[in-house]
Every structure is written in structure tokens, then in C-alpha cells.
Amino acid sequence: MATLAPEAPALAVDPLDVSRPELYRDDVWQAPFRELRATSPVHRVEHSGFGPYWSVSTYKPIVHVESMPELFSSQAGGITLADFIEQDPTDVRMPMFIAMDRPKHTGQRRTVAPAFTPSEMVRMTDNIRMRTAEILDTLEWNTPFDWVDTVSVELTTQMLAILFDFPWEDRRKLTFWSDWAGDIELVKSPELRLERLKHMYECGAYFQNLWNGKVGKAPTPDLISMMIHSDAMAEMDQMEFLGNLILLIVGGNDTTRNTMSAIAYGLDLFPDERAKLEADPALIANTVQEVIRWQTPLAHMRRTATADTVLEGQQIKAGDKLALWYLSANRDESVFPDADRIIVDRPNARRHLAFGHGIHRCVGARLAELQIAILLEEMAKRRMRVNVLGEPERVSACFVHGYRKLPVEISRY
């Protein structure tokens, strides 16, 4: 009789493996990060769903790593803990400039940067305000609804449609593609990888049509036209075109969306702070920074060491991957006292790392801040308070840090 080979013993869960998606789904990531910051700010995890990695969890070493882009590459292994799977036809590499090093990164970033200058922000303000007002004015007072879909998703999707000059009636496609592209957990399943690839190709084909419609025409102030009329991007191959589109779609969508949801959820958690803001709308600009800090919509970015080095006394080897946990740096008590609380007049809220630091610092930061500030201003004009009716449903992933559903009702204060 054949004997069965003994099963390999299952590995015990490592309590300091902060890449586990359930920590974010269940909102219990705070304790392991507190321990990491206190005992091991640069910490090696041997076994995880994404293989071995270093967790960098305090403020200072994250700034250090992001200030040395040659030593800590964005390109060598991409910007999330999920590795590209070589020789797997369901995992296709889509180059995007967030995951490029100098000099290529510089040229491509320069192409889209004009869409986010202060003068562009001034140009867009009235339109953003009008759309925000329109959405807020459709809300029923004292009646339950889902804030995520009705307000956060709708507002950010409209913004993206405008940035891309995307057909208005199809704009929810942008949300759909963004959700698929930003979910790094999918990498763990071949079936889901394949499905994702299908959706990414649909996205590529749709945009290719839009691109074809603009080639040879006079420049217009949208991102596709900017790409067509730039030397650095006009010659991109299909995959690079798709990669950069997806970067802008995910970059502009999930992040701002989840901050808008955090405005509702977070201010309800700290009613004294909400009262301060309601009494003094001059605090709106600082509240925007504080809620972005508190939420940190992208929990980490990854870097890959290009040479052996030492970080906070730890020996990092060339090829090692590092997760820079902005989420944790933004709760670093040595920089932000009482960091788990939203404090609307926190003096140094602006120092947060939610947009990253250095050459890859978020190119869309001004636009995100503008949209969130206008949302708060228009709520204040209507004396609108959002009351949370139950726990949110959260995204189960260690990259996009956000909400799927948030039951609320609005009342007047």
C-alpha cells in the first residue's frame, strides 16, 4: 500500500507580518504597527503572502529611503509588495512612470505635471465646486444612504472623466477598471489575474479609441492630448500607454475617494473635533491635511535595494524589497503626538507622508487637496453633518486603504 507523503506543516501566522489583508479589512492594523515602531522599525518578515520583505514603519527611515532613489529603486521590482510573476502569461508587465527610475521617470512625469499646476487648479475650481454642490443637493436629509458610492465614488469618477475628456455616460467604467487595477491581492490567484488582464485590455482598447480620435488635432487641456503632444510619451508602446493610464486612473480615483469617505467616517468618530470645524470653517485647509494623514489612502509603496546597505542598523542586501508603510509613519508618535486621533487644528498635519516624499511625491496632490477642501466647504455652506449609522465595509488589502461601503445619514447642525 502506498504511503501518503506527510503534509508540510502550515506556517504559523507571523503577528508582525503587516501585509495580511485581514488586518485592514478588520481595522486591526494599529497594534502590530505600534509594536513594530517601538521595537523594530526596520523589520524583516521571512514568510508572507508576498514572500520575504522588510517593513519600514517609522517616519525617519522612510524619508531616508525615498531620498535615495538610485539606491532604493521604484523600477527594479515595482511599487507594491506584489511581485511581477515572470513567465506567467496572466501577469503582463505594464510600465508606468511611478515604477520607473531616472531618467525615464523625469520625462514622463514632466508630461503630465502641467495638468496639476496651481493655475490649472484655479481653472478647475468652479467646475469642481459646481459638481460637488450638485451632488450634495441631491442627497436626502435624515435618510440612510451609502456615502461611498453616492458621494466619494461619484465625485472622484466625475473628476477623472473630466481630466481624460472621457465619455460622461461611461464614466463608471473608470471606477470599475480602477478597482481591478488597484487590488494587489488578485496577484495570489491565477483565475483572478486572468480576469484582471481581460479588464485591463478592455480599458486599453477603450482609451486607444479616445487616443485615435485626438491624434492630429489641436491640443486640448486633457491628459490624453497632453500625452499625444509630448516627446516623452508620444512614442510609448501599447503596454506603456496602458500602464500610464492605469496609473492616473488608480492614482486619481481610489485615493481621493477614500479620503472623502474618511471625512465622513473620521469626523463622526471624533465629534469634538467635528464641532471645532463646524464652528470655524477656517480650519478646513488644515482638516484636509489631517484627514489625509489619518486615513493614508495608500498604506505603502515598495522600493527594491540596488546594492547592499545598512538601514537603522539592519543589513539590507541588493535585491531585497522594502515596504515603506506611510500608514504607520503617519501614526509615528514622535512626529504626531496623539497620532490615532484626528485633531483638526494639529499644527504639523502637513508633514504627513501620505503623498510620499522625494522624486515620486504624488503629482496629483494639489488636485486631491482641492477636491477634498471644496467638499468640506460645500458641506459647511449647507451646515451639513454626516452621521455614521454603522461600521463601514473596508477594503481587504494592504495597499489601497479604504472603504467599500459606509452607511450614513445627513442632518443639519
Q: Give the residues lining the site for ligand HEM (CB under 6 A).
A: 66, 79, 97-98, 109, 163, 247-248, 251-252, 255-256, 259, 292, 297-298, 301, 354-356, 360-364, 367-368
393: β partners: 405
Q: Are 346 and 285 in contact (CB under 8 A)?
A: no
Residue partners of 113: CB distance under 8 A and separation at least 6: 363
Triad 126, 343, 364: Cα angle to 5°: 40
Q: Are 194 and 90 in contact (CB under 8 A)?
A: yes
Question: What Cα–Cα distance (Å) separates residue 108 from each residue in 98, 114, 168, 224, 233?
Answer: 9, 11, 27, 13, 6
* Shorter beta-carbon distance to ligand HEM: residue 198 or 361: 361
Angle of helix 172-181 versus helix 238-269 axis, rounded to 10? 90
* Shorter beta-carbon distance to ligand HEM: residue 193 or 243: 243
- Which residue's C-alpha cell is 510600465? 95
User: In the bound complex, what is the minimum distance in angstroms from residue 365's beta carbon to ligand HEM?
Assistant: 6
* Shorter beta-carbon distance to ligand HEM: residue 105 or 193: 105
Q: In whole angstroms, what is the distance from residue 165 CA to residue 223 CA?
A: 8
User: In the bound complex, what is the minimum distance in angstroms from residue 74's beta carbon to ligand HEM?
Assistant: 6
User: In the bound complex, what is the minimum distance in angstroms from residue 327's beta carbon to ligand HEM?
Assistant: 10
Residue partners of 230: CB distance under 8 A and separation at least 6: 110, 111
For 304, the 3-state DSSP assignment is strand
* Shorter beta-carbon distance to ligand HEM: residue 109 or 382: 109
Position of minimal CB gap to ligand HEM: 364
User: In the bound complex, what is the minimum distance in angstroms from residue 194's beta carbon to ligand HEM?
Assistant: 27
* Shorter beta-carbon distance to ligand HEM: residue 90 or 125: 125
Q: Are 115 and 163 in contact (CB under 8 A)?
A: yes
Angle of helix 172-181 versus helix 190-214 axis, rounded to 10? 140
* Shorter beta-carbon distance to ligand HEM: residue 41 or 364: 364
Residue partners of 321: CB distance under 8 A and separation at least 6: 51, 52, 53, 54, 77, 81, 83, 302, 303, 304, 305
* Shorter beta-carbon distance to ligand HEM: residue 159 or 316: 159
* Shorter beta-carbon distance to ligand HEM: residue 301 or 376: 301
The DSSP code sequence of 358-388 is GGGS-TTHHHHHHHHHHHHHHHHHTTEEEEE
* Shorter beta-carbon distance to ligand HEM: residue 200 or 375: 375
Nearest CA-CA partner of 324 in 293, 302, 292: 302
Q: Are 43 and 54 in contact (CB under 8 A)?
A: yes
